[in-house]
């Protein structure tokens, strides 16, 4: 347990929708449907999935903002200072009325009485670490470019000296050349401070570069997880393969054969009783009519997938694939 900083056991989160005349909810949105995750100290865990898969709800659970409706979430990190978050859009996540030294030290200011001089010192030190010059500390967020704003957001996350930083799509609003700068900064900070990152992204190439482990989510469940090289190198769940195939890559010709027919997620109001991916899966058989569980792939304990065909050793599923039509 020592090198596990966070542990999620069968975490479910659902949100009530509507209310009847008694004030009871008419239905539920099932955002997370049984998530099991372990976050290891000093490592980077990537969480990949498309919109509606529950990535952001999961981030809120990890941040302690949201309590699981069912299941257990335990964390060794301090509840307030121990976990910090960096959001996707640095424009809206920084207070526009504060000079940035106040923005950066807000987590410290909110938690304990600290003199202005001391806060200022903290800000100077953090600004240096994230590559901002000291002279800019009195400016306001609107005076910075997107990449610099993201540096400010990272400095703010560092200010309470957290064990864990949740990075919610930190580079998807940035240009490629700036993305590279921010990713380098994140790597340096992790090496220097031994922080644990939880990196939420839809960008597979960034996840492959930055993460040690990755969990692929679909409709509120982890469908595959394990070391990055295994999961992204030899995906076992049909959804992971579809995701990887869909990522455009340099130097590879586009696949303009038959267009995909079904790209919609099933509704999360009424969860399907069978495998959640059944409707979109080309390999679906009768065994997929029941709910699937996460099981180890081959003999490897770390690499698990939620697919009966992958885990039963039937790894030749790719042969049945027709010309990219999933």
CB of 232 to another protein, least distance (A): 11
Write out the DSSP string of 203-220.
-HHHHHHH-SEEEEEETT
One residue of 246, 284, 308, 317 binding another protein per CB under 8 A: 246
3-state secondary structure of 30: strand
Site stretch for another protein (CB under 8 A), options 8-16, 33-41, 56-64, 183-191: 183-191
**Cβ 199 to another protein, closest distance in Å?**
12
Out of 23, 259, 299, 320, the residue judged to bind another protein by CB under 8 A:
259
Q: What DSSP letter does each residue of 262-326 carry, written as one string?
A: --PPPPSSS--SS-TTGGG-SS--GGGGS----EE-TT-SS-EES-HHHHTT-GGGGGG--TT--
Which of 18, 254, 299, 320 touches another protein by CB under 8 A? 254
* Binding span for another protein by CB under 8 A among 63-71, 112-120, 245-253, 285-293: 245-253
Nearer to another protein, 108 or 219 (CB): 219
Cα 91 to chain center, whole Å? Answer: 20
Answer yes or no: are the C-beta atoms of 29 and 8 closer than 8 Å: no
Counting Cα atoms < 13 Å in the Cβ hemisphere of 126 gives 27
At a CB cut-off of 8 Å and minimum separation 6, what does 32 contact? 11, 12, 13, 14, 54, 57, 58, 61, 68, 220, 221
State the nearest-atom distance from the C-beta of 80 to another protein, in Å: 32
- CA–chain centroid gap for 166, Å, is 8
Per CB under 8 A, which of residues 205..244 are in contact with another protein?
A: 205-206, 208-210, 228, 242-243
Rounded to an integer, what distance in angstroms lies between the CA atom of residue 315 and that of residue 320?
Answer: 11
Contacts of another protein in 152-181 (CB under 8 A): 175-181
Which among 65-73, 108-116, 203-211, 294-302 is the span making contact with another protein, rule CB under 8 A? Answer: 203-211
| Minimum separation from the CB atom of position 147 to another protein (A) | 8
- Binding of residue 267 to another protein (CB under 8 A): no
Q: Segment contacting another protein (CB under 8 A): 15-23, 135-143, 145-153, 284-292?
A: 145-153
Task: Report residue 247 CA to chain centroid gap.
Answer: 17
* Residues at the interface with another protein (CB under 8 A): 50-51, 145-147, 175-181, 183-184, 187, 202-206, 208-210, 228, 242-243, 245-261, 263-264
């Amino acid at each position: 347990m020592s090198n596990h900083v966070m542990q999620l056991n069968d975490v479910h989160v659902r949100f009530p929708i509507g209310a009847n005349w008694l004030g009871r909810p008419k239905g539920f949105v099932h955002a997370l449907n049984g998530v099991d995750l372990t976050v290891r100290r000093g490592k980077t865990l990537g969480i990949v999935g498309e919109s509606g898969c529950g990535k952001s709800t999961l981030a809120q659970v990890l941040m302690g903002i949201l309590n699981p409706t069912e299941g257990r979430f335990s964390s060794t990190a301090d509840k307030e200072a121990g976990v910090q978050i960096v959001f996707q859009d640095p424009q809206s996540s920084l207070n526009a009325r504060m000079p940035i030294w106040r923005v950066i030290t807000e987590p410290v200011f909110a938690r304990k009485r600290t003199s202005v001089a001391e806060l200022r010192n903290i800000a100077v030190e953090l600004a240096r670490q994230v590559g901002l010059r000291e002279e800019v500390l009195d400016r306001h967020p609107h005076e910075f470019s997107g990449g610099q704003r993201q540096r400010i957001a990272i400095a703010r996350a560092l200010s309470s000296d957290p064990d864990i930083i949740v990075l919610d799509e930190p580079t998807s609003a940035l240009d490629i050349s700036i993305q590279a700068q921010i990713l380098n900064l994140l790597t340096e900070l992790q090496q220097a401070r031994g922080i644990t990152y939880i990196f939420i992204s839809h960008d597979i190439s960034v996840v492959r570069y930055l993460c040690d482990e990755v969990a692929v989510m679909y409709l509120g469940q982890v469908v595959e997880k394990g070391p990055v090289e295994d999961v992204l190198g030899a995906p076992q769940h049909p959804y992971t393969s579809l995701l990887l195939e869909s990522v455009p890559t340099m130097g590879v010709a586009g696949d303009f054969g038959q267009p995909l027919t079904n790209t919609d997620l099933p509704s999360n109001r009424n969860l399907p009783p069978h495998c959640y991916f059944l409707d979109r899966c080309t390999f679906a058989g009768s065994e997929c009519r029941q709910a699937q569980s996460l099981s180890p792939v081959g003999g490897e304990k770390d690499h698990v997938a939620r697919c009966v065909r992958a885990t039963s050793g039937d790894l030749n599923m790719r042969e049945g694939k027709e010309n990219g039509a999933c």
